[in-house]
């Protein structure tokens, strides 16, 4: 975060907002009032102990000591926190979701409760939710929040990684930080245990809890799904139609067989590399970026920087690639700048480190389905939880005179990974290991994959318009994670016309983490300038 933004925050407090928070708050309060009446009448299906559901294999993995994984998302607000509206909205949304009103009953508890049950795996059990346990308004030093508000926010959010959660109640918390910073008039931090769901599930749930700022009665808009390009058919004359159709069929068959062979070969290679990494046969070199054993137990610092989505799209269009390719290129360039400056090594050297990337393997629950689930407190068929595969993506640390080269290499790596079923096989193999050898063996293999790679990387798409969360207007979204054996996690989150870069770091390993943020921002600037020069050169050549 940018420190020392007192002037900006003062201007923000004075600026009038053009969103109707009262309408959204009133709707949330009315909905919660109706639900309270239903509960009083005995019609609430979320009564304690009424429903049980097995914890998914990945959810069980996230409860292992070496994977105390949590998601921490900071929402910058455009106005001081409306606490009554926030409480009413959380009660009517998050607190009614089946996962958020359940606790995990562990195997030893199940065996005591039911000695005849052979499969005593952990289960989700519904329980009553006391909002006072989950909505936390901390008492902060007014002098600290006034003198250095950005630092105070960063310190508080980072301190959450050192505080255990009480697993006797649902594993989520909402922290209210009602003081202005350089980018927002206030903030809310949501901490959720990763066993409740993966990042895609959580983003979908968050979207279902929000409303459009322009129309508080409507769900927010998401970017349209990208459609695959349709290749034009070859034009055939009527006299050669039969021969042309046969040739087209043969060409299509040959292309299909070739692509299948390439897919199979890439998958075999990737799975073997993954297995060698998980079993510690191969590993990344020890560098200033790589954590040591026990990193997962160290507190984390969360720092973020706002990047221009327009600049990223400009590079995307200039290079005819995807936004994800550009983000991979920015990451490679930023890490390269940081690595060579901190180590002082020769510019001619090239180092390859790898990132573990989690891939969602089930249909994303739509926000309409999730909104319906929260209103009824029943599972309506929307797929939820953690069904994740892994893939390993290399980052080449090098110095290039042409900064576009970082994006070119990233796009090449992304294309290669798209022609592989690595994530499907890693999920399947992990599931088989768990069933055959138990959770400890599966956790050991997963831990090996993390400790033998260098960092985690993720990128998620957010709303394209300003949204209200429980009546409070959001100006930025900054999610991060902690609790896994990586000293560095890089996450990109888009929202409106910006992209939030969020770094979760082991501060002992990265004492200069704000400099690392600067390296990423400078990398984007240089890549944007190189892309502009490329387009200018293309115009001159044309």
Just list the catalytic residues. 194
* Sequence-distant (≥ 6) Cβ neighbours of residue 330 within 8 angstroms: 307, 312, 406, 520, 523, 524, 527
Work out whether strand 135-136 and strand 172-177 pair parallel, antiparallel, or are unpaired. parallel
d(CA 202, CA 190): 11
Nearest alpha carbon to residue 71 among 478, 381, 400, 498? 478
Q: Collapse the DSSP code of 53 into the 3-class scheme (helix H, G, I; strand E, B; otherwise coil) and give the result.
A: strand
Residues paired with 16 in a beta bridge: none
Cα separation, 329 vs 457, in Å, equals 12
- Between CA 193 and CA 165 the distance in angstroms is 8
How far apart are alpha carbons 404 and 320 in whole angstroms? 12
Q: How far is CA 269 from the centre of its chain?
A: 27
CA 476 to CA 74: how far, in whole Å? 8
Would you tell me how many other CB atoms lie within 10 Å of the CB of residue 357?
21
**Structure-derived torsion over alpha carbons of residues 26, 29, 30, 35, reported in degrees to the nearest 10:** 160
CA 276/CA 452 separation, integer angstroms = 10
Q: Are 166 and 136 in contact (CB under 8 A)?
A: no
Q: Which two tokens stand for residue 404?
A: 């576009």
Q: Are 68 and 4 in contact (CB under 8 A)?
A: no
What is the C-alpha to C-alpha distance for residues 278 and 266, in angstroms, rounded to an integer?
18
Q: Where are the alpha helices (DSSP H) in 116-197?
A: 131-134, 142-147, 149-159
- Rounded Cα distance between 415 and 393, Å, is 11
Report the distance separating Cα 79 and Cα 366, nearest Å.
Answer: 29
Give the Cβ contact number of residue 53 at 10 Å: 15
Q: How many CB atoms lie within 10 A of CB 251?
A: 11
Q: Which of 47, 42, 205 is nearest to 126 (CA)?
A: 47
User: In this structure, are residues 74 and 187 in contact, taking their beta carbons and an 8 Å threshold?
Assistant: yes
């Amino acid at each position: 975060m940018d420190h020392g933004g007192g002037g900006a925050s003062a201007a923000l407090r004075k600026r009038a907002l053009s969103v109707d928070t009262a309408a959204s708050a009133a709707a949330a309060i009315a909905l919660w009032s109706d639900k309270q009446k239903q509960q009083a009448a005995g019609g609430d299906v979320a009564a304690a102990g009424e429903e049980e559901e097995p914890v998914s294999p990945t959810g069980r993995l996230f409860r292992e000591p070496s994977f105390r994984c949590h998601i921490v998302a900071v929402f910058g607000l455009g106005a001081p926190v409306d606490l009554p509206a926030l409480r009413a909205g959380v009660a009517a949304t998050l607190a009614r979701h089946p996962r958020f009103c359940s606790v995990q009953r562990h195997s030893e508890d199940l065996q005591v409760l039911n000695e005849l049950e052979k499969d005593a795996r952990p289960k989700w059990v519904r329980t009553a939710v006391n909002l006072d346990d989950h909505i936390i308004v901390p008492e902060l030093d007014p002098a600290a929040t006034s003198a250095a508000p950005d630092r105070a926010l960063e310190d508080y959010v980072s301190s959450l990684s050192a505080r255990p959660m009480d697993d006797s109640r649902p594993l989520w918390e909402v922290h209210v930080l009602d003081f202005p910073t350089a980018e927002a008039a206030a903030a809310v931090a949501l901490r959720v245990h990763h066993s409740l769901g993966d990042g895609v599930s959580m983003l979908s749930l968050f979207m279902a809890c929000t409303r459009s700022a322009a129309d508080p009665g409507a769900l927010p808009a998401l970017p349209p799904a990208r459609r695959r390009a349709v290749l034009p058919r070859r034009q055939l004359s009527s006299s050669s139609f039969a021969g042309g159709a046969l040739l087209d069929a043969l060409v299509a068959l040959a292309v299909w067989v070739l692509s299948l062979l390439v897919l199979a070969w890439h998958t075999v290679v990737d799975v073997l590399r993954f297995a060698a990494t998980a079993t510690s046969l191969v590993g990344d070199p020890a560098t200033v970026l790589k954590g040591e054993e026990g990193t997962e137990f160290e507190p984390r610092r969360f720092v973020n920087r706002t990047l221009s989505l327009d600049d990223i799209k400009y590079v995307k269009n200039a290079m005819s690639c995807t936004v994800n390719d550009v983000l991979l290129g920015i990451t490679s360039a930023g890490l390269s700048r940081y690595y060579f400056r901190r180590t002082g090594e020769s510019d001619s050297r090239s180092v390859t480190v790898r990132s573990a990337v989690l891939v969602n393997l089930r249909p994303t629950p739509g926000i309409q389905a999730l909104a319906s689930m929260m209103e009824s407190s029943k599972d309506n068929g929307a797929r939820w939880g953690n069904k994740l595969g892994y893939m390993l993506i290399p980052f080449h640390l090098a110095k290039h005179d042409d900064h576009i080269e970082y994006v070119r290499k990233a796009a090449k790596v992304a294309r290669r990974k798209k022609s592989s079923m690595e994530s499907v096989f890693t999920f399947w193999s992990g599931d088989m290991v768990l069933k055959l050898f138990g959770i400890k063996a599966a956790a050991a293999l997963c831990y090996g994959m993390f400790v033998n790679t260098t960092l985690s990387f993720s990128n998620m798409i957010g709303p394209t318009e300003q949204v209200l969360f429980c009546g409070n207007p959001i100006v930025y979204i900054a999610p991060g994670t902690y609790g896994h054996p990586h000293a560095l996690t890089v996450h990109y989150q888009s929202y409106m016309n910006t992209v939030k870069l969020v770094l979760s770091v082991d501060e002992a390993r990265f004492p200069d983490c704000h400099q690392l943020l600067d390296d990423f921002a400078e990398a984007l600037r240089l890549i944007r300038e190189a892309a502009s020069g490329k387009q200018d050169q293309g115009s001159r050549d044309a």
